[in-house]
Structures are given as C-alpha cells and as structure tokens.
C-alpha cells in the first residue's frame, strides 16, 4: 500500500471518523525496526493538555516511542498532509528488519 493512494485513503476512512484527534508516534520495536503509527485520542482534553497515557498503550511494550505530533484533523486529506510531513522529516529514521535484509 502506498501512502496517499485510494486503498490507503480507504483504510484511513475505516479507522477514523473525522473530525478527530490523532497522535502520530514513532515506535522502535525490540527487533530494532522503526515506524510511525497513528492512534485516535479518545480523551476530551484540549490538544495542549493531552497526556502520553491518553495516546497509546500498545506502544508501551516496544523498546521505545516518541510522540511526533498531535493534531485535530477534519478530513482524510489533512491526515495525508500530516503523514507526508512527518515522513519527510523522519523518513531517514524509519526501518524494518525486512528492508535491512534486502540491503545485505
């Protein structure tokens, strides 16, 4: 699946009901793969008051994680724009064991 293609946008629409608050988190797994995930923020807090505990409990089992951004998004196009922005900034750090095996 390619970021921004029709299949990708369909998945975004399945996972999120816009408008909504979304956190984008960089996760490093125990196998050293690094990727960005997004998660719905269910807290009623204002964005500036969102706590890490409101964001994603499923990243707590990883080796490490960092919140990259928290946004209130009104539509899939805004989600796409933020995804592309973060990949542009942090893409150099993203990796997976599959990609590393291909390089070797």
The tens digit of pLDDT for each residue in 29-72 reads: 888 889 898 988 887 777 777 777 767 665 566 788 888 999 99
pTM of the shown model: 0.81
pLDDT band at 77 (very low <50, low <70, confident <90, very high): very high
- pLDDT for the residue 61: 65
- pLDDT for the residue 60: 61
Q: Is residue 92 over pLDDT 70?
A: yes
Euclidean distance between CA atoms 37 and 69, whole angstroms: 11
């Amino acid at each position: 699946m390619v970021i921004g293609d029709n299949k990708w946008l369909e998945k975004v629409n399945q996972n999120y009901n816009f408008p909504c608050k979304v956190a984008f988190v960089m996760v490093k797994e125990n196998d050293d793969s690094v990727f960005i995930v997004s998660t719905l923020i269910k807290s009623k807090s204002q964005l500036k008051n969102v706590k890490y505990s409101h964001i994603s409990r499923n990243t707590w089992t990883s080796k490490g994680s960092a919140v990259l951004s928290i946004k209130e998004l009104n539509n899939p196009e805004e989600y796409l724009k933020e995804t592309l922005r973060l990949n542009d900034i942090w893409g150099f750090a993203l990796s997976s064991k599959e990609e590393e095996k291909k390089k070797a």
